[in-house]
Structure 1
């Protein structure tokens, strides 16, 4: 049961048809990777609202580049308008003026040469600003950093937190929690095809290439929930492969980590116990891990505390009982191309499985 994707609300008009339609209709939106209309209402996805030091450096470079390019564009338009207004007016029968072939136009030459020199200086200035920004991005102090590993799958995100203290590490899907003001070091891996990690409020893009491991470091300086997105076309569900980064005060982060380290709760009633038995005896346990049980699958997301996540299916659907039941019963009808197979539970068995999964807080 591939529940590693996040909630989706009903999209208005054309936006809903775009995502529900065939691949060619929304491939363009997938390529830009900024489908903000399918983001969770509380999740920011905005490179112009930096929430960390690295994102601030990138925003500063973007602002400088936009300013310089706007000024150059305005200068070119002004020069064009001046040339049009000052051009001599002649009739159709007038002979062309070929005097410039015999006498040098020193003034025009000086203007063109000066504009060329200014253009070269501006380009070198932008290049220097780019280099300085790149150096600033690589100089983030990483002492006392939170270390975790993030793997891109078709089509969900797996995050594994390192074993920093007794109790062991743990894995979550499509949702990162980070403490405000503390550096985060993420080892990036791709399980199948090229993916790209991108949380524009916190940092730039970083490719995840199969067979190679890379790292990205950032620091969230403002509490909030920020939307991440795969920024490299990776298959049919690329546009719906999102995740969230929850930046919270250190005390709240520590409390979240403590809850995530706990095993799954025991069934509280007979219906939940029946659902656990059906889960373990079916295909679900072969794909998913539920710590504290015999389910140790690694093909799909870890479900130990799945109901603590606000979203399902890589930030596509709200984590409600109705969506969970529909996802288990017919995932392909909710996300065409998903690798999770449909489950042939009877209505009574499906109710029991949903009841047990619903207890995994």
Structure 2
């Protein structure tokens, strides 16, 4: 039994990742290929020629179709055969590679790996800051050799940064602020409110002024495997609250974990912000800095996965600080149970 939902949208790549040449990527255990047609729409097929199973991604693009590099079978963008290997042989349209539904939103290409009839774009997670007016968004991608749920645990944990990120964003003072966890429907929230504190250098520069600030961190898990982390500061006199904090400078760390195998995943990360949105240089610098921070998590998580594999008789323990990840895993498990019972996503 897999550890992920099947009837769900997963990020296959950034909009810039997928072009006319085939891109091979395994999604939820399924080898797939992605490419853009001449009209720039995205095609997703199982990456296996229906003849002898050579990866189709090794083949040649011909217009909007792919010709297998082994015997020349021509496959159309709907997955059906257009030409057979033997010259002048009648085309058998029942020979086909499985095709998947795709959709573009929030700078990402999404793929639905389950029942095609259930592929409703309304079910794409609402990563609203990635597309909202008055915000700018950019990010990147890491391949990580660990169970995607370990990354969810990591992102829903507001305590590890003091130690894992000691050389970048970690501060001992952060541990002094209390953390609250709550579940609303199928979303999990982990919040930290830091009133009347000194702003760290980055946020002081973004705000453009000295003085005490109210600072917040709000982690939100969304099915099937997204985490958004709302961060920022506001001058104390602005009267911001943990519920309403648009009066200062605000950023949204956007994370999506697409399972590859049981022990590896595709990690798509970025930052959206509502300040200095026309400063292209700042966007590039923030992306570079964020990439360095997440590289620190990558090293920890891959080592953790190796230790899990090397210690099959041991199990993960959960303390109070792990509640966000535990609640998120419970929601994934319940959704998988509903799916196994044939209920709607």
Larger radius of gyration: 1
Q: What TM-score do the two structures reach when normalised by structure 1?
A: 0.22
Q: What TM-score do the two structures reach when normalised by structure 2?
A: 0.23
- Whose relative contact order is higher, 1 or 2, with alpha carbons under 8 Å and at least 6 apart? 1
